[in-house]
Amino acid sequence: MTDYPGIGIKVGAAANLIVGAVAVYAAVLIALDADLYYLTVQEDETLEWASFWAFLGAGFVYLRCAWRTDAFAHLWFPAALGIFCLFVALEEISWGQRLIGYRPPEYFLENNFQQELNVHNIVDTDLRKLALRVVIFGYGVALPLVMLLPTIGIRLGRIGIVAPPVAFAPAFLLTGAFQLVYPIRFTGEWVELMLGLCFLFSALALRDRDSAAVALRPEARYAIAWAAVLAVGVGSAALSRYQRDRDPTNVIAARLELEALQRDFESGNVDRWCGTHKRLYTFARQYDEDYLFAGEFAALARRGLPEQRAAYLIDPWNNAYWLRDNCSDEAREGITLIYSAGPNRKRDSTKWEIRGDDIAVVIRDSDRQP
């Protein structure tokens, strides 16, 4: 039976409040500033980096707990948790693809709708959601409650299974409920941070349980851990805003390629799909817009465009070209944006405005051939 003598109501409340505050902040932000909310949930922003650091920290703490255990029977489960958390952290940043700018293997370009080197987006969506819920509710809620049963808890403890403190179950439960209800757009991005914090706090609790002496009160340690995750998340996001590839030939190439894509769309051979915002390759496959693989952009392969980039509609920085098709309304004419995230390999733009170093062409409804 897993025993956490230092985890009482006050400590549990601190951890639960920190995790709950993430959900509250998300709801308030989308209500007050939709554009800022949209930018916040983008790749390589503070939210994603904070999730990465939370899982990374949890992974190393779990592995440290395993390292300090002599008997294999008590080593394997913390080690497995550590490996799992490190895997999730690296999946979160696509194994450094956007940091380094390398082109992933063709299998991922073709089969991963994000065209990035990560495994979870190849798995069927329903199966991926089921696995996430099993982790949240199984590990974070059910297991701590089962461990409270004396006979079962003792037997599971003998084979090395450890559960989070039962006082943290509300945080896991809230995370799972947020994922199930999905009350706002991009809820999944916030769930990742919430779950990362749940694992980080659980790992710290396990480390503290097995430590002879602890200098700070538990609630203070969790607050410091959250502050550290947020600080390095902000720092990482700020660093990612700097251009990583200042080669002007890539910028010129992107502009020429986007102009070719613009002519493909203005030719009348590509249908209008109002309200769509997708990677261009995903768009072409999902809506059977095969002309994009045979038009002027594809013809650039005869002038030096790498065939793999032509086949998968990716930019000079080995990221996807994107399509955003904005519907017209009473105030504005509908426009189609075809864009690259540019040298910094992150989206800086909002729905209607191209910002930062993003490179784009704009096709107005009046520009299209009937």
SS3 295: coil
- The last residue of a domain, from among 240, 264, 280: 240
| Percent of the chain whose predicted confidence (pLDDT) is above 70 | 94
Q: Which of 223, 240, 257 is the last residue of a domain?
A: 240
| pLDDT per position as a tens digit, 110-146 | 777 677 777 877 777 788 899 999 999 999 999 999 9
pLDDT over 60 at 369, yes or no:
no
- 300 shares its domain with 363: yes
Note the pLDDT tens digit of each residue in 182-229: 999 899 999 999 999 999 999 999 988 876 555 567 788 899 999 999
Q: What is the pLDDT of residue 237?
A: 86
Q: Are residues 27 and 112 in the same domain?
A: yes
Q: Are residue 223 and residue 134 in the same domain, yes or no?
A: yes
* Whether 252 and 221 share a structural domain: no
| Cα separation values, 166 from 15, 51, 89, 152, Å | 12, 23, 25, 15
Contact predicate 196/51, CB 8 Å: yes
Residue 4 lies in a domain: no
Domain limits for position 223: 9-240
Distances (CA, A) of 29 to 35, 179, 343, 355: 9, 18, 28, 21
Band of pLDDT at residue 72, cut at 50, 70 and 90: confident
**Rounded to whole angstroms, what are the CA distances from 260 to 73, 254, 338?**
61, 10, 11
Residue 102 clears pLDDT 80, i.e. is over it? no
- Do 38 and 88 belong together in one domain? yes
Flag whether 362 is in a domain: yes
Whether 225 is covered by a domain: the verdict is: yes
pLDDT interval class at 35 (50, 70, 90): confident
My answer on whether 23 and 149 are in the same domain is yes
232 torsion bin: left (phi>0), alpha (psi -120 to 50), beta (else): alpha
Strand, helix or coil for residue 369: coil
- Round the average pLDDT of the chain to a whole number and report it: 89
Given 177, 205, 240, the domain boundary residue is 240
Are 111 and 212 found together in one domain? yes
Q: Examine the domain organization and report whether 150 and 266 are in the same domain.
A: no
CB of 311 closer than 8 Å to CB of 281: no
CA distances for 277 relative to 214, 273, 323, 356, 362, angstroms? 50, 9, 6, 19, 14
Helix (H) / strand (E) element for 285: namely helix 280-286
What total of structural domains would you count in the chain? 2
**pLDDT bucket at 347, cuts 50 / 70 / 90:** confident
* Predicted TM-score of the model (pTM): 0.79
Residue 235 and residue 269 in one domain: no
